[in-house]
Structure 1
Amino acid sequence: MAAFLNQALFGLYPYVALTVFLVGSVVRFDREQYTWRSGSSQLLRRKLLFVGSNCFHIGVLAILGGHFVGLLTPHELYLAMGLSVEAKQLMAMIVGGVFGALCFLGLTLLVYRRLADPRIRATSSRMDIAILLLLYAQLTLGLSSIFVSAHHLDGSEMLKLADWAQHIVTFQAGAADFVADVHPIFKLHIVLGMTIFLLFPFSRLVHIWSAPLGYVTRPYQLVRRRGGAAARRS
């Protein structure tokens, strides 16, 4: 039973989640373009939004970039560059910890802002709140995994996770076997990460596709009440 569950979660589920992620994003853009937005609440608690949003986005973009490079770079390549497995893991822990803390600060402010203000909560959908809490849980797991990694600085767990990721993206068999005996916190981190990919097309996260390069420096959405200018003139 354990072997079946491991294969289902780490051999099959990633492909289900990534397929829904890609196909769902295309279908939503094609059929529901008017919902292809983040859903602005700029006029409410602007200071919290400014600090929280910038801290979160800078942190999360750095974390995603680090995961992409760290997991998908072939072991032989960084060894050829003179970077040992131990040094790579230590660098990942330090850089991930710094940007993870920045992201955690920003996300905490965003969660507080959305849940503590009755006006913002009233304009938030269930998916808005759910995806924010899932991201919060995922970030907490990621930061917690740093303390687990500190107990095996030889990089053995990191190599298993990288082998799993590289086998998944290259459609090689046996990917789930690499993570069969890794620490449970890494397994939870993977499953929750895949779940976020699964829910991505059905949430406000789709707006990331609109401007992936200029995302951090983009202006906020401007929301004006219809007829406001006329009311002011009167």
Structure 2
Amino acid sequence: MNSPGAELLLWVAFPYACLAVFVVGHVWRYRQDQFGWTSRTSQLLERRWLRWGSPLFHLGAFAVIGGHVVGLAVPASWTEAVGISEHTYHTTAVWLGSVAGVAMVTGLGMLCARRLLTPRIRPTTDRTDKVLFPLLAATVLLGITATSVHNVLGGGYDYRSTVSVWFRGIFTLRPDPDAISSAPLLFQLHALTACLLFAAWPFTRLVHVWSAPVGYLARPYVVYRRRTAAPAATGPRGRGSGRRVA
């Protein structure tokens, strides 16, 4: 875009508006809909598709997020300072990111197909899912396409000098719309859909990311006892022996 006003609106006002919705939306959702703060799992209804689709999607998503954190938030001078050349970083990021992206898309495709093709699952899909899944798919596919076109087929594009500069500027309150405006269109579309995804996040099942059961790893054992002890399990005082399970 050539208009300074349009660039400010698209690359400054719009990202900040999406971030504001992201923060305020989470506060509202937590206060108004704690019961719905869940992934709304349907594992009991169907497991065959879920067994492969869920691990592929989640592991791919974690890898993609990690790659974006390094690529967008860490300046090139930092990686070079620890001995990682730009060529090494670029090659590693492209191939590992492509593998992670393909895994994520494959898993997402299986999960979407599961919801569309399984009669027992279809009724559990609500309106927010119908917005989330296409938006998530568009964001990931645009990222993979941008990488393939400009880095694999096009000989390489240094997004760390454009997109990354704009991204860090958003969070340091020094946004640089000129940096992202000079990026290829596919990278720009990828950034815009990512902003929309963050705005939609609080109102979808993605909120379950913040409810990972980390405390489960350190919780004490739970002791279960039979209400009526079986004869073989009866102790010297006639009480059930019980057992400790994790």
Shorter-normalised TM-score: what interval?
Answer: 0.7 to 0.9
Greater shift, 93-102 or 111-120, is seen at 111-120
Alignment of 1:110-149 (within 5 A): 110-147=111-148, 148-149=150-151
- Which whole-Å CA distance do the structure 2 matches of 1:91 and 1:213 have between them? 31
Residue 135 (structure 2) pairs with residue 156 (structure 1): no
> What's the offset of the Cα at 1:4?
2.5
Which residue does the alignment assign to 1:28? 29
The answer to whether the 8 Å contact 1:111/1:133 transfers is: no
> What's the offset of the Cα at 1:129?
2.4
- Which whole-Å CA distance do the structure 2 matches of 1:179 and 1:214 have between them? 40
CA distance 1:214–1:169, change in 2 (3 Å) = farther
> What's the offset of the Cα at 1:212?
7.7
Which residue does the alignment assign to 1:199? 200
Q: Pick from 129, 154, 171 the counterpart of residue 169 of structure 1.
A: 171
Alignment of 1:17-166 (within 5 A): 17-147=18-148, 148-150=150-152, 151-153=154-156, 155-166=157-168
Greater shift, 80-89 or 161-170, is seen at 80-89
Q: Secondary structure at the match of 1:11?
A: helix
Residue 12 (structure 2) pairs with residue 7 (structure 1): no
Unaligned runs of 5+ residues in structure 2 are: 218-246
Structure with greater helix share of residues: 1
> What's the offset of the Cα at 1:68?
0.9
Tell me the number of residue pairs that the alignment of Structure 1 and Structure 2 aligns: 214
- Which whole-Å CA distance do the structure 2 matches of 1:213 and 1:162 have between them? 31
Greater shift, 120-129 or 100-109, is seen at 120-129
The answer to whether the 8 Å contact 2:64/2:101 transfers is: yes
Q: Secondary structure at the match of 2:38?
A: coil
Which residue does the alignment assign to 1:190? 191
Identity across matched positions, percent = 36
Q: CA RMSD in A?
A: 2.0
TM-score (norm. length: structure 2):
0.81
- Which whole-Å CA distance do the structure 2 matches of 1:119 and 1:200 have between them? 26
The answer to whether the 8 Å contact 1:56/1:105 transfers is: yes
Measured against aligned partners, the alpha-carbon deviations of 1:157-205 in whole angstroms (never above 9, x if no partner) come to: 33211111111111114x2110112111001100000001001111111
> What's the offset of the Cα at 1:213?
5.8
